[in-house]
Amino acid sequence: MQTYEGYVENGRFFPVGGSLSVTGRRRAFVTVLNEPARDDETVRRLGALDKFFAEIESSDEKVPEFERVKLREVEI
């Protein structure tokens, strides 16, 4: 048995951390909790990102290409 955490939006399930790794056809249960998927801090951060990308889109300046990197958390 596998358990996935995620959220449901517009009838679709989005797992936290990417995709599901289930092969074949499997019986499944989805439990929808009576709590929002985003807390106030997440909503604030997503709003800031939306504003950031809107500013980039409305700018006349050329946006530079950046190399894709993988980041990871480390404990200090």
Question: Number of structural domains, the chain?
Answer: 1
Do 2 and 22 form a contact (C-beta atoms < 8 A)? Answer: yes
More confident residue, 52 or 3: 52
Any domain includes 33: yes
Any domain includes 66: no
Predicted local distance difference test score (pLDDT) of residue 38: 67
Rounded CA-CA distance 54/67 in Å is 21
**Ramachandran area for residue 41 (φ above 0: left; ψ -120 to 50: alpha; else beta):** alpha
Any domain includes 53: yes
Any domain includes 17: yes
Condensed to tens digits (0 to 9), the pLDDT of residues 10-19 reads: 888 888 777 7
Q: Domain limits at 30?
A: 6-58
Any domain includes 32: yes
Q: Is the pTM of this model over 0.75?
A: no
Rounded CA-CA distance 28/32 in Å is 13
